[in-house]
Each structure stands twice: as structure tokens, then as C-alpha cells.
Amino acid sequence: MSVKVRFAPSPTGKLHVGNVRTALVNWLFAKGQGGSFVLRIDDTDLVRSTQESEDNIEIDLKWLGLTWDERYNQSKRFDRYEEAAARLKAEGRLYPCYETADELDRRRKVQLSRGQPPIYDRAALSLTDAEKAAFEAEGRRPHWRFKLEGKRVAWEDLARGHAEVDTASMSDPVLIREDGLFLYTLPSVVDDIDMEITHIIRGEDHVTNTGAQIEIFEALGAKVPGFAHMPLLVGADGTALSKRLGSLAIMDMRADGYEPIAITSHLGKIGTSDNLEVAASLQELGEAFAFSKMGRSPARYDTADLDRLNAQAVHAIDYAEAKPRLEALGVDLGETFWNTVKGNLNRFGDVVDMAKIVTGPVTPVIEDAAFAAAALELLPDTIDADAWSTWTGAVKDKTGAKGKGLFMPLRLALTGQAHGPDMAAMIPLIGRERLVQRLKGEAA
Ligand code: GLU
């Protein structure tokens, strides 16, 4: 059977690096073995879900290259959840409860004060029909809990190895709220069954869920899929990133000028034994991906690493690929220009400043006017690829300046900056006329 995975975001906000890592690992795992990738929008919460968020999820995933083979909305599948709920009710696995949140809270406090774990006591299981009718007459609506078997649920986790959850230590999960809303737990299982998902890959914050969900798969008579729970992301300081994820939105990173392959290379490799280097393509990342390379320790998300990978990605862009982007920025100065400056870029957009060095205006920085004048005298008539070495050789002979004392004043005069691309390649692009003006101290 071929591999089929799903990414199931809730459309209640911006997609952040944590979500995207889950999406990416699913995608890499499936595509690495010719499988398929399902986008499932978990929008059972009709109040919190928005169309805008759903649209943005699609925009972000497409931009990253994480295309999907099938796509679903949970909000269009309530009939299926009702059917599954009816089956579980008929089999006594889904039972009505009438406690209010306050009542539950009080019971938990009593349990804790007695040193007992705050697990739901299943009082509702022993309600008589008359008691239920009395609650209904009071206007109470039931919420519905799934009756766990209370056993050791075990699975071979692709990322964690042998995993176990003791469902006896858990409260029976609420699957349907008193207002009739399906919480995520049951729809997720129903969809995974209907969509024939072979592997569920998600963050390790879902491990406990998995214990309950495996019991639901079994209760619905379905084959239990494979599971992988990935270690969570931590920041550069080693502390959990979960609270800060909101500020690491993909759409903001796109606006900041990051390359999609830098983001995917970073998120695909942190927490694995692979070196943190940029990949040439998602395809290549997929071929390299393996859960066996993923450790149990958290994956360290460091913006400095991302910046380094981003620079690598920009340096690898060839002119044909760069050209439309250069045109869009109004700075397509040709292939030689691109090849000369790209190694100095951290973000693609930095090329605008590089183009300004060529086209000006540049405000020259001249500390020693006599030196600049001497250099101007010696400037070759033709500024070709050899001009820089001929010229600086002559300036050295004439002035005695050498090393940094020779090159830095020329760079500062000609570019206005202390650092930048190779001057030998830059001066033919700048052209003699502007070189002359700049050596005279004129902005040009
Ligand atoms: N909507 C759920 C979430 O974002 C999906 C979890 C899952 O992959 O099952 O946490």
C-alpha cells in the first residue's frame, strides 16, 4: 500500500514555523517514497476558523512548494462524524455527561486535595434515565465522552521508537461539546480512516491524544495507521518555542525576503543528524529525509542558522532564475553583474543596494584628496576585466601605498563603502565616467 499522509492545520491564525515543519516532514516522508500528501483543513470550530486564514495557509504552502494531492474541509464532513458518533453511542463507547465546567472543576480540586490524579470519575455512566431526563428538563444539554478501555496502548513510533500511553491514567475525552460541536479528536480519526491515511506525523504534544485516538480507531473497526511524533522546536536559548511561534509566521518571513528553500532546508534538517546546509530542491531534501536521523532531543530553531542557509540559497541562484526577480526589482544589470554581486547578498533584495553601487548615485568617501587625484591620473582609458590590476599596480608604484592602504581608499572612493563585491569585476560595470566623477569626490 502506498504511503498517504495528511497535514491538518486549524485555520485560526497564521501558519508558523512549527506548523510548517509538520507539513514539511509529512510532505518529505510521503514524496520521498512516491506517496501522496493530503491537505485537510481542521475547521470544525466554525467560530474560530476564518476563510482568510484558510486562504493564507494555501498561499504559504504553495509558496514553500508543499503542494497537495487531495484537499478537504472538516466543516463539509459533519455527516460522517455524526455517523461515527452514532455508532460509538450504540456501542456504549460514547456516553452523555451533564456536569457543568464548575462542577468538574470542584471535583478535580477535591481529588487533588486527596492526592488523587484529577481524572474524570465517570459519574455520568451511572446516571439513570430519569436523572438524565431531569437534567434535560432543567435545560442542560449533554456533552459526550469516549469511554476509554483503560489499558496500555502501544505503538512503534517512527520517530520515538516503542511508545506507550496508559489510557487508565487519562480522563475519558470529550468528543462532542454540549452545543453539539465536534472537538478535533473524533473528526480527525474519522477522516484518517475515510482518507486512508497510512501515517500520522505530528508534534510530540499529541502523544497522549494518540493513546485515545488509537482506541477510537479500534472502536470504529479500522486499521490503526503508523505514527511519528516529532520532538518540538526550541529556540536558540534551548527553551520551548511554543509561546513565541506566533511571531514566526511564514507570511512575515516571505515579506522579510527569505527564500522558501532556505526555510524548508532549515526546518527539514534541524533536529536530525544531517548537516545544516541548504538543499538544491525539495526533491533533494525528500531523498535525504529519514526518521532514523531524527533524535529524541528537541530541534533547535536558530534564526542565525536560517540566515546562513538563506545566504547560501541566494548564492546558488543562477542568472536565468534571478533575471525575472531582478527585473521585478528594476535592477537587471545583466549576468556579469549578478554573478559578481550575488556572493555578497544575505537576502535577494540586498541586490538593490548592489545595483546602486553601479548605477549610483554613490557618495564617495575620500580621506586623502591627493591620493585620489594621483589615482585618477593613472586610471586606464579602457575599463575592462584587467583594468583593476593594471591600475592598482600603477597607483602602488606611484604612491608607495600597498595592501589595505592601497585598496581601501579606492573602494571607499568608488563605492562609498568599506566592504562589497570584487572591485576588479565591479569597475567595468560602473564605467569610466562614473569612476572619474567619484574619484573627484562628486556624487555619481
Ligand atoms: N488540527 C490539529 C492541530 O493543528 C491537527 C493535529 C493532527 O495532526 O492530528 O494540532
Residue type, 78: F
CA distance linking residue 224 with residue 215, whole number of Å: 9
| Ligand 1 close to Cβ of residue 8 (< 6 A) | yes
Residue 7 in contact with residue 30, Cβ under 8 Å? no
Ligand 1 midpoint to CA 9 (Å): 6
266 lines ligand 1 (CB under 6 A): no
pLDDT tens digit sequence for 303-336: 999 999 999 999 999 999 999 999 999 999 999 9
pLDDT for the residue 242:
82
Mutate to test the pocket of ligand 1, among 10, 44, 207 (most ligand atoms within 8 A of CB): 10
Atom of ligand 1 nearest to the CA of 19: 4
Pairing of strands 70-73, 152-157: unpaired
Greatest distance between any 2 Cα atoms in the chain: 109
pLDDT digits (tens, 9 = 90+) for 334-349: 999 999 999 999 999 9
pLDDT recorded at residue 246 = 80
pLDDT band at 49 (very low <50, low <70, confident <90, very high): very high
Ligand 1 atom having least distance to the Cα of 213: 9
Ligand 1 test: best mutation among 38, 49, 182, 184, most atoms within 8 Å of CB?
A: 184
Atom of ligand 1 nearest to the CA of 201: 8
Per the CB < 8 A criterion, the answer to whether 322 and 345 are in contact is no
For ligand 1, is residue 10 a contact (CB within 6 Å)?
yes
Kind and range of the H or E element at 405?
helix 404-415
pLDDT attached to residue 59:
98
Looking up cell 569597475, which residue turns up?
A: 427
Is residue 213 within 8 A of residue 188, CB to CB? The reply is: yes
**Ligand 1 pocket member 74 (CB < 6 A):** no
187 C-beta closer than 6 A to ligand 1: no
Q: Is 188 in the pocket of ligand 1 (CB under 6 A)?
A: yes
Backbone angles phi, psi at 145, to 5 degrees: -110, 150
Instruction: Identify any residues that bridge with 355 across adjacent strands, giving them in sequence order.
Output: none
Tell me how crowded residue 252 is: count the other CB atoms within 10 A of its CB.
Answer: 12
Q: Which residue minimizes the CA distance to atom 10 of ligand 1?
A: 9
Computed over every residue of the chain, the mean pLDDT equals 96
- Pocket lining: 204 vs ligand 1, CB cutoff 6 Å: no
Q: Is residue 291 lining ligand 1, measured as CB closer than 6 Å?
A: no
Q: Give the residue whose CA is nearest to atom 5 of ligand 1.
A: 8
Q: Which tens digits make up the pLDDT trace of 345-395?
A: 999 999 999 999 999 999 999 999 999 999 999 999 999 999 999 999 999
Neighbours of 53 (CB within 10 A): 18
Alpha helices in 247-386 (DSSP H): 250-255, 260-269, 282-288, 303-315, 319-329, 335-341, 351-359, 369-378
Q: Scanning the structure block, which residue is given the C-alpha cell 471535583?
A: 107
- Rounded to whole angstroms, the Cα distance separating 144 from 314 reads 54
- pLDDT one-digit tens code per residue, 198-231: 999 999 999 999 999 999 999 999 999 999 999 9
Backbone angles phi, psi at 384, to 5 degrees: -115, -170
Q: Work out the number of other CB atoms within 10 angstroms of the CB of residue 240.
A: 12
Strand partners, 6: 38
How far apart are the CA of 40 and the centre of ligand 1, in A?
Answer: 10
Cα atoms in the Cβ-side hemisphere of radius 13 Å centred on 58: 12
pLDDT digits (tens, 9 = 90+) for 77-121: 999 999 999 999 999 999 999 999 999 999 999 999 999 999 999
- On the question of pLDDT at 1 being above 80, the answer is no
What mean pLDDT comes out for the span 21-35?
Answer: 96
Q: Is the pLDDT of residue 176 over 90?
A: yes
Q: So what's the pLDDT on residue 347?
A: 98
How far, in whole angstroms, is CA 358 from its chain's centroid? Answer: 36
**Among 69, 294, 96, residue whose Cα is nearest residue 178:** 96
Q: Using the mean position of ligand 1's atoms as its centre, give its distance from the Cα of residue 203 in Å.
A: 9
Rg (CA), the chain: 31
